[in-house]
Amino acid sequence: MCRTGEESGEGPESARVGHGPDTDASFTALLEDSAEDLYEAAPCGYLSTLMDGTNAKINATLLDWLGLARETVVGKLRFPDLLTVGGKLYHETHFAPLLRMQGALHGIALEMKAADGRRLPVLVSSVVKHGSEGEPLLIRTTVFDASDRRAYEQELLLRRQEAERARAEAERAHAEAEQARRQAEADRKRLADALAVLQQSLMPSSLPAVPGLEAAGYYHTASPDRLGGDFYDLFSVGEGRWAFFLGDVCGKGPQAASLTSLTRYTLRAAAMHNPEPTVALTTLNAVLHDRYAAGGDPRYCTVIFGIIEHDADHSRTTIRLASGGHPPALVIGADGRADYLPTPGGLLVGALPNAPFTTAETTLAPGDTLLLYTDGLTETRTGPTREHLFGDTALRAFATDHAPTTPQGMITALTGLLESFGDGLDDDTALLALGVPATHPTTGPATNPPL
């Protein structure tokens, strides 16, 4: 049979307080603790005031927090006198009126002033005690030390302010970056516009109308942010003869543009003096070599220079040309064939003080087209991995597939080809096509698509 609690010595009181002498002693001390001791040594402050705020009773805990003596507080100071200036103002304007209206307020944040000038953040709860007939008699107030809470709130506020500053700085940095980006875009556009204008100044704005001849040109710029060194031109040298040239200078950028300008104007001036192709290239070679090589900064270019002559009835068009290290011209025949025009010899123009040049000659029949191009076309990288060059053989096959054709037809086809290369085309390319019309010659304007 199981024993009952009484039989085992475990009575009701024993069950409440547990076992052992230490437990019994603590419980006994708790029972002996008076209400006055509990009031005075409570972990929070207690304060009782008359309805006008005069302090009538205050516990030792609150006095200790404020560093005040009881005799200086009770009956001599009002509750608002224990508050800071801001707390006193809030008490008069909000706390006291609300308390009279509602009879109780809970958890109101105030600041009390200690004897040494310290500010003590507290949470105050007050209740109005009424008499038997409902008249207000006094106010009982409980005060909790909110120093830790205030420190926590200040820490949160500090972190919030730091986060706000960081966000503001990030937004400012983003705005500055956006402004810089827009400025860079505007600068890049202005640069591109300036480079385009400068590039156009190095090329003919349009090709002249040549009796008995059709002409078309095109210039592909690999990068709008970089000046190219390719060039071409077609102009009259008098007595029914026309000169043309197409070439490529070494380098890119402003220095290449300066070399291109010097080359173009030198060839034009040389042609007006003596349009013989070898003479014009010899003159250019001397100018470039004296200008650059003598100063220890050699510059050179590749170029084809030619002269166009018609017989009296325009039934026969003869072209004499010389090459200075430039890829050979391609003749696209009216019979559907395409082949390169051999141009023996021809060193880079400007590389050596004396360079031999040789003249080559061909006759264009009605429907024939002569194509000149720079190496940006044949050195374009093709294939999935961009490892192979387009090359001379592919260009001849492409021209054969489009033969017979007109100069403009050939330029249009090559323009589409260049666009199909995508990022494999990383160099500028200049194209110039000259041809004899298959029908009766006209003097209509030559075509030159915009750069």
Tens of pLDDT, residues 83-112: 999 999 999 999 999 999 999 999 999 999
Residues 6 or more apart in contact with residue 233 via CB below 8 angstroms: 203, 204, 244, 245, 246, 264, 267, 268
pTM of the model: 0.59
Write the burial class of residue 170 (CB in 10 Å: 0-12 exposed, 13-18 middle, 19+ buried).
Answer: exposed
| Helix (H/G/I), strand (E/B), else coil: 363 | strand
Q: What percent of the chain has pLDDT over 70?
A: 85
Q: pLDDT (tens digit, 9 = 90+) per residue, 208-261?
A: 999 989 999 999 887 766 667 889 999 999 988 999 999 999 877 778 888 888
pLDDT at 4 over 50: no
DSSP string, 146-180: -HHHHHHHHHHHHHHHHHHHHHHHHHHHHHHHHHH
Q: pLDDT (tens digit, 9 = 90+) per residue, 120-154?
A: 999 999 999 999 888 999 999 999 998 887 777 77
Cβ pair 371, 354 in contact under 8 A: no
Q: pLDDT (tens digit, 9 = 90+) per residue, 152-203?
A: 777 888 888 989 999 999 999 999 999 988 898 887 777 666 666 666 667 7
| Residue 11: per-residue pLDDT | 47
Interval 425-447 mean pLDDT: 74
Identical fold for domains 33-145 and 204-435, yes or no, is no
Interval 387-392 mean pLDDT: 88
Split at pLDDT 50, 70, 90, the class of 408 is: very high
| Residue 124: per-residue pLDDT | 95
What is the total residue count of the chain? 451
Cβ pair 302, 349 in contact under 8 A: yes
**Beta-strand pair 241-249/301-310:** antiparallel
Nearest C-alpha neighbor of 246 from the set 294, 213, 281: 281
| Residue 157: per-residue pLDDT | 85
Q: What percent of the chain has pLDDT over 90?
A: 59
For the chain, give the mean pLDDT. 86
Please report, for the chain, the start and end positions of each structural domain, with discontinuous segments joined by +: 33-145, 157-201, 204-435
pLDDT at 314 over 80: no
Q: How many CB atoms lie within 10 A of CB 19?
A: 11
Q: How many CB atoms lie within 10 A of CB 71?
A: 8
Split at pLDDT 50, 70, 90, the class of 443 is: very low
Nearest C-alpha neighbor of 372 from the set 267, 278, 247, 284: 247
pLDDT at 35 over 90: no
Range name among 68-82, 267-281, 291-305, 352-366 with the lowest pLDDT average: 291-305
Q: What tokens does 132 get? A: 């038997």
Split at pLDDT 50, 70, 90, the class of 382 is: confident
Residues 6 or more apart in contact with residue 279 via CB below 8 angstroms: 270
Cα 186 from Cα 199, distance rounded (Å): 19
Which CATH number applies to 204-435? 3.60.40.10
pLDDT at 446 over 50: no
Q: How many CB atoms lie within 10 A of CB 157?
A: 10
Q: What tokens does 91 get? A: 């008490």
Write out the CATH class of domain 33-145: alpha beta
DSSP string, 31-50: HH--HHHHHHT-SSEEEEEE
Interval 357-372 mean pLDDT: 94
What is the 3-state composition of the chain as percent helix, strand, coil, each rounded to the nearest 5? 40, 25, 30
